[in-house]
């Protein structure tokens, strides 16, 4: 496809999505906002999984840390735009501290470390009632206001979240196009070769993981402001699992992979409500099937068609 | 002191069950490079299969043997043929993701079939306790320890003393060399999958009386199995045993003396310490990097 056409299609899609909630009821607007919030977390995870080639099973923990920091700080009266960097930096730092021991060793260790970390964070959220409110959670989290403009309404908050999500995605896109980001791809495709060319594997992977964690933290801040009431359940390990699967299903390492994956884990279950338990069961087995026939995720279908077209 | 003794005994018994699941996990890893994230579900399903056979009137030991047969067929042979064989050529990550998907799928399926409630499960051991040196010890703990110990010991003997067992180890250490020596590698790998399935059924038999049969019972035991395997050393069979028992005991001690709320975090802390100071695991050897 011609690049200008591609750009045009992208802009049209974004504009359509931005207008869409004006036709929806409040629950629809909420879902669209939730979709954006999840996108921030899954885009961060795509950096870790798709570009640095590491499995992380703790994205929901960082998402939760961001949300709890936001809940506590916003209730204490700190402005939203101050809370955002605090949460991002905190998650980045925790990511470094967790990733360092795990990445020193080997591949799948980060998966296990993040899995355990998620369980631990969940326990802290549930048990440290003085700080986190335990299972009762924290309620009455205020929505931000921007330049004196209140974002209390569902629609203004959606646009605010969407704008921020797009900014974050653009920042990641820019990052991946920079020389620094190109080193990632080299690292994923052939780590040993990348290392012999002077790329410090551990440092790059660690940074990718920590940036991914920071993105989840930012997503968490928006999540807290969106739902205005947080408790430990949305940050359970199973949510991390769904986020990871979202990235993989969409196509890890593909820039628009997280969009497809997030549709599958956030929006589809809502449309398919009548299926209830069956949805997850089918989803689980569908992932197995996908790995067999399309290990590169849904977006790798395009490659396949192109390859077929070229063969003709 | 009496408390501590009691905690260590029951912790060792729980740890022995973790070790069984971890052992299967390590064996699979060694033989085929498979990381099975559905290991917990591999323990959950046999629990329900045993309950099914009990429901049609079979005595517990018959139900157990039948469950072993079913597990070998589906969780051993079927799992290898339908999922591992086609996926292993894509590399480790797609396979790991597929087992994650399998874990979700099996768990939800179990929820649909058997409901979300916990089902009681009979203990294979007599109820009640007896007293040693002023400490109460339950028969269930002793029975669990003996049975798990016996299985692990038997497996060790099999792996080290029989020709088949040694051939299996050879495959794990160097697949190509094993092939050159005329070992049927594919058959050996299949044996490992069958052993893993049986270990899971034994773990189910021992763990379900206390955990109860529930669709998500595998979550906790699966996680403990990973951590036990890594703490002990991923490439060492004995390591899984040590890791499992260590986690079991420490969980009990922390739960009693520190805070029951953080019992579940013990395995993680131990794991982080181990990878910081002894990344190859307590009993593990460093693996050379393959290019």
- The whole-angstrom separation of Cα A306 and Cα A201 is 32
Give the model's pLDDT for residue B268.
Answer: 83
State pLDDT tens for residues A50-92: 887 788 899 999 999 999 999 999 999 899 999 999 999 999 9
Burial class (CB in 10 A: 0-12, 13-18, 19+), B130: exposed
Ordered domains of chain A (ranges, CATH): 3-311 (1.10.3470)
Q: Distance between terminal CA atoms of chain A? A: 18
State pLDDT tens for residues B246-287: 999 999 999 888 888 888 888 888 888 887 788 777 887 665
pLDDT higher than threshold 80 for residue A7: yes
Burial class (CB in 10 A: 0-12, 13-18, 19+), B193: buried
Q: Which residues of A touch B (CB under 8 A)?
A: 53, 55, 101-102, 104-109, 111-113, 115-117, 119-120, 123, 126-127, 192, 241, 244-245, 248, 277-278, 280-288, 290-292, 295
State pLDDT tens for residues B181-216: 888 888 888 999 999 999 999 999 999 998 899 998
Provide φ and ψ at A57, rounded to 5°. Answer: -115, 25
Tell me the pTM: 0.89
Give the model's pLDDT for residue B276.
Answer: 77
Residue contact A108–B96, C-beta within 8 A: yes
Provide φ and ψ at B58, rounded to 5°. Answer: -75, 145
Q: What is the mean pLDDT of residues A205-225?
A: 94
- The whole-angstrom separation of Cα B289 and Cα B283 is 19
Among A55, A105, A112, whose Cβ lies nearest the Cβ of B226? A112
Q: At what angle do helices B217-232 and B92-114 cross, to 10 degrees?
A: 150
pLDDT higher than threshold 50 for residue B291: no
Give the model's pLDDT for residue B58.
Answer: 87
* DSSP-assigned letter for residue A229: E
Band of pLDDT at residue B289, cut at 50, 70 and 90? very low
Burial class (CB in 10 A: 0-12, 13-18, 19+), A288: buried
Give the model's pLDDT for residue B77.
Answer: 94
User: Going by C-beta distance under 8 Å and a sequence separation of 6 or more, which residues neighbour residue A289?
Assistant: none
State pLDDT tens for residues A218-271: 999 999 999 999 999 999 998 999 999 999 998 888 888 999 999 988 888 888
Domain ranges across chain B: 2-125+139-277
Band of pLDDT at residue A311, cut at 50, 70 and 90? low
Distances (CA, A) of A28 to A279, B162, B223, B240: 20, 64, 37, 49
Give me the residue label for tokens 């049927």: B184
Residue of chain B with shortest Cα separation from A291: B94
Q: Name the most confidently modeled range: A33-47, B151-165, B235-249.
A: A33-47
pLDDT higher than threshold 60 for residue B288: no
Strand A229-230, strand B129-132: pairing: unpaired
Residue of chain B with shortest Cα separation from A119: B265
pLDDT higher than threshold 70 for residue A101: yes
User: B22, B89, B96, B97: best mutation site toward chain A, by most A Cβ within 10 Å?
Assistant: B97
- The whole-angstrom separation of Cα A148 and Cα A78 is 15
* B289: region left, alpha or beta (phi > 0 left; psi from -120 to 50 alpha): beta
Band of pLDDT at residue A107, cut at 50, 70 and 90? low
Which residues in chain B have Cβ-Cβ distances shorter than 8 Å to A104?
275, 279
More confident residue, B207 or A3: B207
In 3D space, the residue among B120, B154, B102 whose CA is nearest the CA of residue A287 turns out to be: B102
Band of pLDDT at residue A309, cut at 50, 70 and 90? low
Q: Distance between terminal CA atoms of chain B? A: 53
Band of pLDDT at residue B173, cut at 50, 70 and 90? confident
Q: What is the mean pLDDT of residues B112-121?
A: 91
User: B41, B82, B98, B277: best mutation site toward chain A, by most A Cβ within 10 Å?
Assistant: B98
| Alpha-helical runs (H) found in A24-108 | 26-46, 59-75, 80-105
- The whole-angstrom separation of Cα B188 and Cα A118 is 37
Residue of chain B with shortest Cα separation from A237: B219
Band of pLDDT at residue B290, cut at 50, 70 and 90? very low
Q: Residue B89, CB half-sphere, CA atoms under 13 Å: how many?
A: 6
Residue contact A111–B90, C-beta within 8 A: no
**Domain B2-125+139-277, CATH:** 1.10.3470
User: B39, B44, B91, B93: best mutation site toward chain A, by most A Cβ within 10 Å?
Assistant: B93
């Amino acid at each position: 496809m011609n690049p200008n056409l591609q750009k045009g299609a992208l802009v049209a899609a974004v504009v359509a999505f931005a207008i869409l909630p004006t036709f929806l009821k409040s629950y629809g607007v909420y879902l669209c906002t939730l979709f954006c919030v999840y996108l921030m977390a899954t885009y961060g995870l795509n950096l870790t999984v798709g570009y640095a080639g590491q499995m992380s099973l703790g994205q929901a923990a960082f998402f939760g840390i961001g949300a709890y920091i936001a809940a506590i700080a916003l209730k204490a009266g700190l402005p939203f735009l101050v809370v955002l960097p605090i949460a991002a930096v905190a998650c980045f730092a925790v990511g470094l501290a967790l990733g360092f021991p795990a990445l020193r060793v080997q591949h799948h260790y980060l998966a296990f470390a993040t899995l355990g970390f998620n369980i631990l964070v969940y326990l802290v959220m549930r048990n440290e009632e003085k700080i986190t409110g335990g299972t009762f959670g924290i309620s009455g989290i205020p929505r931000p206001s921007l330049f004196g403009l209140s974002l209390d309404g569902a629609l203004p908050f959606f646009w605010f979240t969407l704008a921020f999500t797009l900014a974050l995605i653009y920042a990641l896109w820019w990052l991946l196009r920079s020389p620094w980001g190109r080193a990632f791809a080299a690292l994923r495709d052939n780590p040993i070769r990348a290392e012999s060319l002077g790329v410090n594997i551990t440092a790059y992977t660690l940074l990718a993981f920590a940036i991914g964690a920071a993105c989840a933290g930012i997503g968490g801040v928006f999540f807290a402001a969106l739902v205005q009431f947080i408790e430990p359940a949305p940050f359970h390990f199973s949510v991390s699992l769904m986020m990871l699967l979202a990235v993989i299903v969409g196509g890890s390492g593909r820039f628009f992979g997280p969009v497809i994956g997030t549709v599958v884990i956030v929006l589809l279950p809502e449309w398919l409500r009548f299926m209830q338990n069956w949805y997850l069961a089918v989803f689980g087995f569908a992932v197995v099937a996908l790995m067999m026939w399309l290990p590169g995720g849904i977006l790798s279908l395009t490659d396949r068609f192109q390859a077929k077209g070229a063969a003709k | 002191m009496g408390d501590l003794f009691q905690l260590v005994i029951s912790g060792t018994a729980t740890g022995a069950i973790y070790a069984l699941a971890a052992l299967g996990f390590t064996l699979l890893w060694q033989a085929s490079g498979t990381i099975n994230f559905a290991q917990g579900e591999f323990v959950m399903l046999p629990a329900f299969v045993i309950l099914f056979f009990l429901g049609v009137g079979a005595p517990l030991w018959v139900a157990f043997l039948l469950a072993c047969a079913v597990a070998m067929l589906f969780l051993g042979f079927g799992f290898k043929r339908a999922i591992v064989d086609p996926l292993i050529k894509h590399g480790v990550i797609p396979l790991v993701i597929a087992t994650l998907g399998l874990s979700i799928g099996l768990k939800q399926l179990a929820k649909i079939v058997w409901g979300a409630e916990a089902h009681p499960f009979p203990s294979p051991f007599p109820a009640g306790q007896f007293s040693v040196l002023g400490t109460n010890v339950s028969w269930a703990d002793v029975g669990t320890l003996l049975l798990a110990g016996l299985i692990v010991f038997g497996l060790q003997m099999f792996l080290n003393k029989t020709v088949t067992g040694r051939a299996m180890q050879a495959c794990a250490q160097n697949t190509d060399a094993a092939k050159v020596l005329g070992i049927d590698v594919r058959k050996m790998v299949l044996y490992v999958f069958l052993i893993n399935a049986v270990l899971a059924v034994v773990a189910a038999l021992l763990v379900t009386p206390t955990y109860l049969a529930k669709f998500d019972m595998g979550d906790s035991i699966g996680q403990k199995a990973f951590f036990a395997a890594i703490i002990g050393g991923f490439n060492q069979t004995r390591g899984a045993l040590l890791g499992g028992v260590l986690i079991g005991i420490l969980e009990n001690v922390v739960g009693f003396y520190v805070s029951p709320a953080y019992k579940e975090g013990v395995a993680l802390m131990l794991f982080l310490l181990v990878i910081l100071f002894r990344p190859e695991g307590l009993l593990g050897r460093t693996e050379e990097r393959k290019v």
